[in-house]
Amino acid sequence: MRVVGLDPGLRHTGWGVIDVSGNRLSHVADGVVHAPTDAPLAARLVALFRQINAVLEHFRPDVAAVEETFVNKNPASTLKLGVARGVVLLAPAERGLPVAEYSANLVKKSVVGAGHAAKEQVQMMVRRILPGCEIGAPDAADALAVAICHAHHAATRRHWKAAV
């Protein structure tokens, strides 16, 4: 199974692709797509959608996992992030891919063991879980963590289903 993890952001959206075979995880690729900061919101969303679609087209994942939005103190920022997240959810769904969603705390707990882990801890654990992975940016590390989280939780759901 090939999983793409997505860490939504209006300026920078991280993506990470892993292959899952049983309990073995292997790094395929990661990166960040950037929306032009000087463009109107609608144009930024179009750029985000097209770049994510290019990643999906190139790597052909079987499933997508997206980090849920947390609420900021600034309602306007939260709303804009929510709009970007909608685009990030739409891109794989429009291609017919199943899309799973995970909270930031669950992602951190799944990868690091603590729901309030620092970004540096997440990056270090992603490198340990995916040996040889050279992470280009913190947003890409977060996206890989979302993919890892999905791989672990999907395996658990499969085991539960088989036991019933």
Classified as helix, coil or strand, 30 is: strand
Q: What pLDDT is recorded for position 132?
A: 86
Q: What pLDDT is recorded for position 77?
A: 80
From the list 19, 38, 68, 139, the catalytic residue is 139
Contacts of 85 (CB under 8 A, 6+ apart): 8, 66, 68, 69
From the list 7, 57, 68, 94, the catalytic residue is 7
Q: What pLDDT is recorded for position 19?
A: 98
From the list 38, 67, 101, 120, the catalytic residue is 67
Domains in the chain (CATH in brackets) are: 2-163 (3.30.420.10)
**What whole-number distance in Å separates Cα of residue 161 and Cα of residue 141?**
30
Q: What pLDDT is recorded for position 89?
A: 97
Encode the chain (164 residues) as per-residue pLDDT tens digits.
999 999 999 899 999 999 999 889 999 999 999 999 999 999 999 999 999 999 999 999 999 999 997 767 788 888 888 899 999 999 999 999 999 999 999 999 999 987 788 889 999 999 999 998 888 899 999 999 999 999 998 866 665 566 66
139 is catalytic: yes
Q: Euclidean distance between the first and final Cα of the chain, in Å?
A: 23
Q: What pLDDT is recorded for position 159?
A: 59
Number of H-type helices and E-type strands within the chain = 5, 5
Quote the strand ranges of the chain, DSSP E: 2-7, 12-21, 24-34, 63-67, 99-102
**148 within 8 A of 5, measured Cβ to Cβ:** yes
Whole-structure pTM value: 0.92
What amino acid is encoded at 5 in this protein? G
